[in-house]
Amino acid sequence: MEQNSDALHRLKISIQQLMEYCGELKSQNKVLSNELTQANIKATAKQAEMEDLSDKYKVLKMAKSLEGASSENKEVKLKINEMVREIDKCIALLNK
């Protein structure tokens, strides 16, 4: 009878330890989820910044090509038309 009581007591202690460990894991999971959310937000911001810089680079490249492009008017016009089409696509996507 005493053996059953000891076994039951050990079982209760084990269950209690498992419950504490489960609580710790839940807490860690919540912290890691928050960190992941923050990392995703930072990644999205960096992606937007990268796209913005890419657009600025394209504009700068276009401006540089316009500087000395007196003989390359046709090429410049084609680039401008391409940019206008891209802008039109963006506007169409925003209107959806």
Q: What is the pLDDT of residues 40-56, one digit of tens each?
A: 999 999 999 999 899 88
The count of structural domains within the chain is: 1
Under 8 Å between Cβ of 65 and 72:
yes
Q: Find all residues with CB under 8 Å of 83, minimum gap 6, and list them.
A: 58, 62
Which pLDDT score is estimated for 64?
A: 76
Element (H, E) at 76: helix 73-95
Which pLDDT score is estimated for 18?
A: 95
Q: What is the pTM of this model?
A: 0.52
- How many Cβ atoms from other residues are within 10 Å of residue 79's Cβ? 17
Which pLDDT score is estimated for 40?
A: 95
Summarize the confidence of residues 66-75 as an average pLDDT. 65
State the chain's mean pLDDT as an integer.
Answer: 87
Question: Domain span at residue 60?
Answer: 2-95
Cα within 13 Å of Cα(23), Cβ side: 6
- How many Cβ atoms from other residues are within 10 Å of residue 65's Cβ? 13
Element (H, E) at 31: helix 2-67
Summarize the confidence of residues 53-68 as an average pLDDT. 81
Mind listing the pLDDT tens digit for each residue in 11-41? 999 999 999 999 999 999 999 999 999 999 9
In whole angstroms, give the CA distance from residue 67 to residue 88. Answer: 25
